[in-house]
Amino acid sequence: MNPSTQTSTPTPYASKPVRRIVIAGGGTAGWMVAAGLSKSLGRLYDIRLIESEEIGTIGVGEATIPTLHFFHEILGIDEREFMAATQATFKLGISFENWRNVGEHYFHSFGTTGKPHWTAGFQHFWLEGRKRGLASDYGDYCLELRAAMDNRFAHLPNTGLNYAYHLDATLYAQYLRRYSEALGVRRIEGKIVKVHSDLSGEASHGGITGLSLNDGSLIEGDLFIDCTGMRSLLLGETLGVAYQDWSEWLHCDSAVAVQTASVGEAVPYTRSIAHPWGWQWRIPLQHRVGNGLVFSSRHLDDEAAKLALLANVQGEVMRQPRVIKFTPGQRELVWKRNCVAIGLSSGFLEPLESTSIHLIQRGLTRLIQMFPADGICQSDIDEYNDQSRRAIETIRDFIILHYHVNNRTDAKLWRDCREMAVPNLLAHRIQLFKDSARVCLDSDELFRDNSWIQVMMGQGIAPSAHHPVTRQMSDADLGEFLGEIRKDAARSLIKLPKHQDYVSRFCGAP
Ligand code: FAD
């Protein structure tokens, strides 16, 4: 019998080899999962994806980070084809405006600043150079940052620029749908109206058995991937996994988004502009600009947020602003029994450092790497949950850092963020950097030294000391060391074309 048209009660689930994978939800998460699973394991499993046009997708999520290259490499995606299909532009980092203080600006680039030395990071040499009047702005030593500020981009030979993309989320899901269907994924249009489960037996045995749709059909499966968005229909609502609320540290709980027609050239970076009640994004695509305001509902109401956003966009508004509510946090478990939540169903921090699509990709690649062979083992579930928790907690801390370290005195939100107690590890990292300019991270963390240093200094931390090895260098040696790095960046910069011209040539855009 065709499983998609079966109408009886589902058979109970017991730990048995997985044959049928059911993906519930077809937003960015659902289709990324479908693409990744069909590419890596598609010949072994029956993969179906259920989505509901009536419910639709969240429709935001357009800025990415460089890890997306890895996902595209796995899929064997052609960059030109992908960029043309999703109206994508290149992204070299994020411009943070008014974050440290009103009227001040810094940049978090994806590049490496300076050159590392085995004794100490580049920041130590730069700090010594600054003290002796030998160093210019920290960003002058990073090619990606200089290219972004000068609106330039190209694929460079050898190491190249470290970059990500801005993309149209709806077009991206459609692109991945075509990709997945070509590899045999079956899409089922319909609304899930009932989730059947058998929760008797050991934790790794019982689980979800089937999903009833509004047309009366029943979709049975062995492994269910919950990509139903913030509602978390399978993991949260059915399996009862609680949500850890992190709003004590991340005060923004709402967003309003609007698309506008492009005016002027697309810049190769996201703009993040802080306001008294939150911050605003501007994401330039080839055909339009994505705009949004992320705000704290305790400091601004929805109507005022819409007006504030509309007052701060350029170009004709293409659709009326839409308000989205969220609770920053994470499900206590992201894999329970035979259900794995990937995407918003597993949690959401907030979009400040564009980490959600990365977390989808990471959840998916982790699942593929730990894919159950002869039935689902509790040890795999525990390991998966532990790795996922550690990954998101360090990203959470990095985001909190932006809010906590600030000099703004104009608004309560910013004063509250500065005065709040932060997680212990973050508090330690801030103190360590203040005392010694050192950054010590675990090897598997997403954001590396380059990111932490740019944001810590950008937000206004001035370390009180740095490594003594830098004092060994004479003025001439230190000046030459710093000067060469700066000149190298300048030499490469002038070879780069304007970003807009490069995108047009690369994608054949008008
Ligand atoms: P959704 O897009 O909500 O998809 C859920 C799917 O489940 C839909 O297909 C829906 O039809 C289906 N569904 C739900 N219930 C049912 C049902 N009962 N029956 C059948 N189908 C059902 N991420 C980034 O990486 N970069 C960003 O710049 C970024 N910006 C963001 C800005 C905001 C304001 C927000 C809120 C999020 C942002 N994100 C960003 C996160 C990003 O949008 C999401 O991670 C991404 O879109 C994945 O969403 P999803 O697929 O999990 O959920």
The pick from 28, 94, 282 for probing ligand 1's pocket by mutation, whose C-beta has the most ligand atoms within 8 angstroms, reads 28
Interval 259-291: pLDDT, tens:
999 989 999 999 999 999 999 999 999 999 999
CA distance 284 to 269: 8
Ligand 1 contacts CB of residue 198 (under 6 A): no
pLDDT for residue 200 is more than 80: no
Ligand 1 contacts CB of residue 395 (under 6 A): no
**Residue bearing the bigger pLDDT, 116 or 317:** 317
Rounded to the nearest whole angstrom, what is the distance from the C-alpha of residue 359 to the centroid of ligand 1? 12
User: If pLDDT is split at 50, 70 and 90, which confidence band does 436 have?
Assistant: very high
> What average pLDDT does range 404-419 have in this prediction?
97
> What average pLDDT does range 1-21 have in this prediction?
60
Structure tokens at 273: 């502009």
Ligand 1 contacts CB of residue 60 (under 6 A): yes
> What average pLDDT does range 298-304 have in this prediction?
96
Label residues 60-87 b or e (16+ Cβ within 10 Å = b): bbbbbbbbbbebeebbebeeeebbbbbb
User: What are the DSSP E strand ranges found in 312-418?
Assistant: 322-325, 329-331, 335-336, 339-341, 347-348
Query: In the annotation, is 39 catalytic?
Result: no
Percentage of residues in the chain with pLDDT exceeding 70? 96
Q: Is residue 152 part of a domain?
A: no
**Residue bearing the bigger pLDDT, 302 or 204:** 302
Helix 28-41 vs helix 356-369: angle between axes, to the nearest 10 degrees? Answer: 30
CA distance 401 to 487: 32
ipTM computed for the complex: 0.99
The pick from 60, 234, 272 for probing ligand 1's pocket by mutation, whose C-beta has the most ligand atoms within 8 angstroms, reads 60
Closest CA to 177 of 63, 51, 70, 90: 51
Closest CA to 49 of 180, 207, 217: 180
Closest CA to 363 of 348, 379, 378: 348
> How many structural domains compose the chain?
1
**Three-class SS of residue 365?**
helix
Question: CATH number, domain at 228?
Answer: 3.50.50.60
Q: Is residue 25 part of a domain?
A: yes
Q: Is residue 225 part of a domain?
A: yes
Between the two ends of the chain, the Cα-to-Cα distance in Å is: 50
Phi, psi for residue 280 in degrees, rounded to 5: -120, 140
Nearest CA to ligand 1 atom 9: 26
Domain containing 19: what range? Answer: 3-55+174-246+329-349+374-392
Q: Is residue 43 part of a domain?
A: yes
User: If pLDDT is split at 50, 70 and 90, which confidence band does 156 have?
Assistant: confident
Interval 52-93: pLDDT, tens:
999 999 989 899 999 999 999 999 999 999 999 999 999 999
Ligand 1 contacts CB of residue 292 (under 6 A): yes
Q: Nearest 5 degrees, angle CA 93-CA 96-CA 101?
A: 160
- Among the residue ranges 133-142, 336-345, 369-378, 380-389, the one predicted with the least confidence is 369-378
- Among the residue ranges 22-36, 136-150, 192-206, 441-455, the one predicted with the least confidence is 192-206
pLDDT for residue 14 is more than 60: no
CB 365 within 8 A of CB 74: yes
- Amino acid 61: pLDDT: 86
Q: What is the pTM of this model?
A: 0.95
Rounded to the nearest whole angstrom, what is the distance from the C-alpha of residue 30 to the centroid of ligand 1? 9
Ligand 1 contacts CB of residue 255 (under 6 A): yes
pLDDT for residue 294 is more than 90: yes
Rounded to the nearest whole angstrom, what is the distance from the C-alpha of residue 385 to the centroid of ligand 1? 21
> What average pLDDT does range 148-174 have in this prediction?
94
Ligand 1 contacts CB of residue 356 (under 6 A): yes
Structure tokens at 243: 């949500």
- Amino acid 257: pLDDT: 97
CA atoms within 13 A on the CB side of 128: 22
- Amino acid 117: pLDDT: 85
CB 26 within 8 A of CB 355: no
pLDDT for residue 12 is more than 60: no
- Amino acid 201: pLDDT: 66
Rounded to the nearest whole angstrom, what is the distance from the C-alpha of residue 407 to the centroid of ligand 1? 34
- Amino acid 205: pLDDT: 66
- Amino acid 373: pLDDT: 82
Residue type, 99: W
Nearest CA to ligand 1 atom 40: 61
Q: Is residue 122 part of a domain?
A: no
Distances in whole angstroms, Cα of residue 197 to Cα of each of 337, 364, 384: 10, 23, 22
Ligand 1 contacts CB of residue 25 (under 6 A): yes
Query: What's the mean per-residue pLDDT of the chain?
Result: 94
Please, which residues bridge with residue 273 across strands?
97, 280
- Amino acid 5: pLDDT: 42
- Amino acid 246: pLDDT: 98
CA distance 404 to 394: 15
**Residue bearing the bigger pLDDT, 116 or 5:** 116
- Amino acid 4: pLDDT: 42
The minimum-distance atom of ligand 1 relative to the CA of 59 is: 2
User: If pLDDT is split at 50, 70 and 90, which confidence band does 9 have?
Assistant: low
pLDDT for residue 423 is more than 80: yes
pLDDT for residue 2 is more than 50: no
CA distance 80 to 167: 13
Q: Is residue 483 part of a domain?
A: no
Closest CA to 359 of 403, 327, 402, 393: 393
User: If pLDDT is split at 50, 70 and 90, which confidence band does 189 have?
Assistant: very high
Rounded to the nearest whole angstrom, what is the distance from the C-alpha of residue 418 to the centroid of ligand 1? 30
Locate all alpha helices (DSSP H) within 441-493, ordered by sequence: 449-458, 475-493
Q: Is residue 466 part of a domain?
A: no
User: If pLDDT is split at 50, 70 and 90, which confidence band does 157 have?
Assistant: confident
The minimum-distance atom of ligand 1 relative to the CA of 292 is: 34
- Amino acid 1: pLDDT: 36
User: Per the residue annotation, which of 16, 91, 412, 487 is the catalytic one?
Assistant: 91
Q: Is residue 181 part of a domain?
A: yes
Rounded to the nearest whole angstrom, what is the distance from the C-alpha of residue 58 to the centroid of ligand 1? 4
